[in-house]
A and B are shown apart, each in its own frame.
Chain A
Amino acid sequence: MPEFRLTTALLILLALAFPLQADTRAEGTALARQILERPANEGRVGTMHFRLVNSSNRSRERAALMVHSELDAEVRVAIYFTAPAAIEGTAFLSHDHPEGTDATWLYLPATERVRRLPNSERGDYFMGTDLTYGDIRDNFKFRLEDWHFSAPGTVEHNGRPHEVLRGTAQTAAIARELGYGAFEAVIDPETLFPVVVEFADPEGQPLKRVSIAEQGLVGGAWTALRFSVQQHQTGHRTEIHFENMRHAPDLDQRVFDANALAYGVPRIR
């Protein structure tokens, strides 16, 4: 009977598809774990240049000294703005603890005080840029507890095959917190660094594209040295490049002390 054969065929197809889907999820999770376990270093410092471009192509520029440390899974980032004059002396510090309370501080020269900030949602945007606080903390990694992963295959990028990693937020609450409902990333197989990431908002609409134009090995850790973030919904773009990014193995941890923000740009040898 035709209906019986059709039903049987469908059931067989479903039975075959399920382990295939489970395979891509397992591969995706494995790839995400490899990315997460990318070597980090105990300290790097460089000059960060931001260019913020609106949909009318008008731009604003920022420069800052960025100091980054990743020790025992605790990530600490200090950003001291040096230009333009209106924000020169402004400094930002974040401590991201794997377990326990994250903390951020801001120093505004006009107030002459270091101010502890309420923790921002990871999806909140950092100081007018198209980078979120989560983007800055995660450093082009994808946390296993946030996403359901899959690895549908490879694509050609710059003449080489690259893995594709997809993720959907595990829950609606996570999607709201991150500001992302899903992503698709093209991963460099040699560095395990994303070279392109397309993000969708929690409603599934295209949100922004992160393109890494240049990576560099700094103290044994791959780092994005030049990248851009293009917002699809507003037409705004943020371009970032680092100058003089160098490994700082003997970084004085006092640089990451909140009170040090008031003392101005540190001199790091």
Chain B
Amino acid sequence: MPTSTPGGGQPSAGPPRRRLYALLLLAAVGWIWLLNAEARVELSNAKLEAEYWGGVTTDDGSAALSRFTVKPSARWRLGDGWQLEVVLRGEYASDDTGLGSLETYSDLSRPFVDNTRSRLELDRATLVFRSGPTVLTLGKQTVPWGLLDGIQITDRFDAVRRRDFVLTDIRPDRLARWGFRLRSEASGWRVDTALLLDPTVSQQPAPGTAFSPRAARLRGGLPATAPDLPVRVSDRESYTDDATFGLRLARTLGGVDVSVLSLRGPDTEPLLVFATDSAGPYVELEYPRRSLHGFTLERGQGGNVWRVELAYVPDQPVNIRAPEPFAKDERRRWLAGVGLDWNAPAGWFVNAQLALDRINRGSTDITRPTEDVIGTLRVQRGFRQETWRVRGELLGALSDGDGVFRPALDWRGHDHLTITLGADLLFGDRDGLFGQYQDESRAWIRLSLSL
């Protein structure tokens, strides 16, 4: 991705956000004080998680990854049916991967502290009310729809972090956003509706870091060797125009769980647009609104579980190949995925998934392939009372023949400590989704402490 201008196009976090946070904090403290006076506040859980993730490239042994993360969290019961949960995230990194760009964050979601190597932010903050089958969630939250692991067919409500590409332990790495979510039941249907007003979109890797885009398909068709242009992110402060709204209906029919869903909101991935101003030409990352309509199905069958997801996007924003740079259009897009969990013999667990992502060709070629076929395969097994776990994962773009192999070994012999050794070995053509990062193959260690 071309170099971003210092400070990007976003105003720095200032008085309006601080005033809002102060108001929210005051309201929360006031309410808790009142409830406490009635002896209705109960700290139900407090936890501290800390993690160090460090690694070196397999190529030259340079520091690919060195990130320290601390996540304190607390949960309170506030009287009948109410619960408050707050999770903070503090990070420090000194490596080639970095902490990711903040240009795609709304002012309300930006970290409190943001230095070159460190951040402190509010990771989650939810106020939840439960009454019978109804659950109302207010605050900074995620909406994890979809069934498949790490393959986003219908799971496209949430913004995600892309600073580590897809090489995180849990995929996708979700970004919480501010809004409302209501879940309930009616006539055997489970209803889930969400409105996230926060215009934050998916976090991109910071320019020049390990996983900043190199393949032309992610650069509006421009190869990595093309001259750099400044990059700015479109304004992320429209809390109504850039809200995301969705509705999901689910039901169990004869042991099969089915759901249908629709959502509309800014595409969480960028569209590159050429722009100019008094300072000269630049590339703007736009996030046009789009709709998605989906269907999911999940069925258990003895030692197997089958999952199917289908999605249709009638108005997918795309970059097209045209005489003018970074031309754009809207196309129809279909996504389909199938997954299988299998309890294999001798205690092995196998997960296999296959997904197809197809964009209508139209009269002009788009800058990415019209069809992507993605496959994932994971096998894992526990040993010695689950104190050791070995796992291997293969993710690949079958259409291009590139991918990544991710072996890992976990030790969980202690109540509070987990140690993991692993590697991410990328391969394939340098213009491929995975192959573009083949020089970033790495071996790593992760130490996780929970108190």
Binding site for B on A (CB under 8 A): 52, 54, 58, 60-61, 82, 84-86, 88, 100-101, 103, 110-113, 116-121, 124-125, 127-130, 234, 236, 254, 259, 263-265, 267
Contact of A54 among B83, B385, B450 (CB under 8 A): B385
Question: Are the C-beta atoms of B385 and A259 separated by less than 8 Å?
Answer: no
Given known contacts A112-B144, A119-B303, A121-B303, A85 and B343 CB-to-CB distance under 8 angstroms: no
**Distance between Cα atoms of A150 and B282 in the complex (Å):** 85
Given known contacts A118-B302, A118-B341, A263-B135, A86 and B416 CB-to-CB distance under 8 angstroms: yes
Question: Are the C-beta atoms of B347 and A124 separated by less than 8 Å?
Answer: yes
B160 to chain A, nearest CB (A): 12
Chain A positions within 8 Å of B341 at CB level = 116-118
Q: Which 6 A-B pairs have the closest CB atoms?
A: A128-B386, A85-B450, A86-B450, A84-B415, A118-B343, A112-B144
Question: Are the C-beta atoms of B385 and A116 separated by less than 8 Å?
Answer: no
Is B49's CB within 8 Å of the partner chain A? yes
**Distance between Cα atoms of A236 and B383 in the complex (Å):** 13
Is B43's CB within 8 Å of the partner chain A? no
Q: List 12 A-B contacts (CB under 8 A).
A: A54-B387, A60-B415, A86-B450, A88-B47, A111-B144, A119-B303, A119-B343, A120-B343, A121-B343, A127-B386, A129-B385, A234-B385
Question: Are the C-beta atoms of B415 and A61 separated by less than 8 Å?
Answer: yes
B339 to chain A, nearest CB (A): 11
Question: Are the C-beta atoms of A88 and B174 separated by less than 8 Å?
Answer: no
Q: Is the interface of A mostly helix, strand, loop or mixed?
A: loop
**Distance between Cα atoms of A196 and B227 in the complex (Å):** 77
B134 to chain A, nearest CB (A): 11
A115 to chain B, nearest CB (A): 8
Question: Are the C-beta atoms of B144 and A113 separated by less than 8 Å?
Answer: yes
Chain A positions within 8 Å of B300 at CB level = 101, 103, 116-119
Which residues of B374-414 have CB atoms within 8 Å of chain A's CB atoms?
382, 384-387, 412-414
**Distance between Cα atoms of A118 and B49 in the complex (Å):** 30
**Distance between Cα atoms of A118 and B342 in the complex (Å):** 6
**Distance between Cα atoms of A248 and B375 in the complex (Å):** 47
Q: Among B48, B75, B169, B305, find the residue whose CB has the most chain A CB atoms closer than 10 A.
A: B305
**Distance between Cα atoms of A254 and B183 in the complex (Å):** 14
Which residues of B121-169 have CB atoms within 8 Å of chain A's CB atoms?
128, 130, 132-133, 135, 142, 144, 169
Question: Are the C-beta atoms of B47 and A118 separated by less than 8 Å?
Answer: no
**Distance between Cα atoms of A113 and B298 in the complex (Å):** 14
A88 to chain B, nearest CB (A): 6
Considering the complex, give the chain A residue whose CB is closest to the CB of B307.
A116
B-side interface residues, number (CB < 8 Å): 46
Which residues of B287-306 have CB atoms within 8 Å of chain A's CB atoms?
298, 300, 302-305
Contact of A116 among B169, B257, B302, B451 (CB under 8 A): B257
Question: Are the C-beta atoms of B413 and A58 separated by less than 8 Å?
Answer: yes
**Distance between Cα atoms of A129 and B342 in the complex (Å):** 21
Chain A positions within 8 Å of B386 at CB level = 127-128
Considering the complex, give the chain B residue whose CB is closest to the CB of A87.
B450
Considering the complex, give the chain B residue whose CB is closest to the CB of A120.
B343
A265 to chain B, nearest CB (A): 8
Chain A positions within 8 Å of B226 at CB level = none
Question: Are the C-beta atoms of B144 and A118 separated by less than 8 Å?
Answer: no
Question: Are the C-beta atoms of A118 and B416 separated by less than 8 Å?
Answer: no
A188 to chain B, nearest CB (A): 30
Contact of A84 among B44, B304, B347, B450 (CB under 8 A): B450
Which residues of B259-307 have CB atoms within 8 Å of chain A's CB atoms?
298, 300, 302-305
Question: Are the C-beta atoms of A112 and B48 separated by less than 8 Å?
Answer: no
With A86-B450, A100-B255, A119-B300 given, name 9 new contacts (CB 8 A). Answer: A54-B384, A60-B415, A86-B448, A112-B144, A118-B343, A119-B302, A119-B343, A120-B343, A264-B75
Chain A positions within 8 Å of B48 at CB level = 85
Is B190's CB within 8 Å of the partner chain A? yes
B61 to chain A, nearest CB (A): 30
Chain A positions within 8 Å of B448 at CB level = 86
Question: Are the C-beta atoms of A236 and B343 separated by less than 8 Å?
Answer: no
* B 102-132 binary contact with A (CB < 8 Å = 1; else 0): 0000000000000000000000000010101
Chain A positions within 8 Å of B169 at CB level = 110
Question: Are the C-beta atoms of A254 and B132 separated by less than 8 Å?
Answer: yes
Is B186's CB within 8 Å of the partner chain A? no
Chain B positions within 8 Å of A100 at CB level = 255
Is B360's CB within 8 Å of the partner chain A? no
Considering the complex, give the chain B residue whose CB is closest to the CB of A84.
B415
Question: Are the C-beta atoms of A128 and B382 separated by less than 8 Å?
Answer: yes
**Distance between Cα atoms of A86 and B45 in the complex (Å):** 12
Is B10's CB within 8 Å of the partner chain A? no
Chain A positions within 8 Å of B413 at CB level = 58, 60
Chain B positions within 8 Å of A101 at CB level = 255, 300
Is B170's CB within 8 Å of the partner chain A? yes
**Distance between Cα atoms of A152 and B304 in the complex (Å):** 41
Considering the complex, give the chain A residue whose CB is closest to the CB of B304.
A118
Chain B positions within 8 Å of A125 at CB level = 385
